[in-house]
Amino acid sequence: PEPAGLLIAELLAGLHALPGSSWSHLDLHPGNVLLTAGRGPVVIDWETAEEGHPPGLDHAMSALLLAEVAVSPAPYAPGARAGLAALLSAAQAPVLPHVGEARARRAANPCLTGEEAAALGAAADLVTELAAPREA
């Protein structure tokens, strides 16, 4: 889980470092990364990408997605928490100022189940809890 969180942070940093680009993926999580032998990691599913957002929002969205799994009853929730902690430790943009907007954007997603929507508060709280010591 930790390498997955670090990879997400690395991919976000690479995206935001592209010259002349102000794109954000806004849905980067392990399920949207293909690991290939010849090309390394490839980011897929650019449907939610938007231009003109600060990198911190992109990091906050990824953190919130991992946190949703971490607060779930799924057996892999502890791994998601470890991946989230790794992502936050390597984030090259501030996350805390963007947690509220990330939560609002996620809540507006019409594809969320009721269970996923109900977990957003706990997920946002977890991101805030884990990011606060790093950004203080």
Whether 135 is in a domain gets the answer: no
Encode burial over 63-75: b for 16+ CB neighbours within 10 A, e otherwise: bbbbbbbbbbeee
Looking at residue 72, its pLDDT comes to: 94
The pTM of the full predicted model, rounded to 2 decimals, is 0.96
Whether 23 is in a domain gets the answer: yes
Whether 54 is in a domain gets the answer: yes
Quick check: 136 pLDDT over 80? no
The parent domain of residue 10 ranges over 2-130
Could you give the number of structural domains in the chain?
A: 1
Encode pLDDT of 25-71 as tens digits: 999 999 999 999 999 999 999 999 999 999 999 999 999 999 999 99
Whether 50 is in a domain gets the answer: yes
Whether 37 is in a domain gets the answer: yes
Looking at residue 38, its pLDDT comes to: 93
Residue type, 53: H
Contact between 59 and 12 (Cβ < 8 Å): yes
Quick check: 119 pLDDT over 90? yes
Whether 136 is in a domain gets the answer: no
Quick check: 21 pLDDT over 90? no
Whether 88 is in a domain gets the answer: yes
Q: What is the mean pLDDT of residues 6-28?
A: 94
Contact between 51 and 23 (Cβ < 8 Å): yes
Whether 79 is in a domain gets the answer: yes
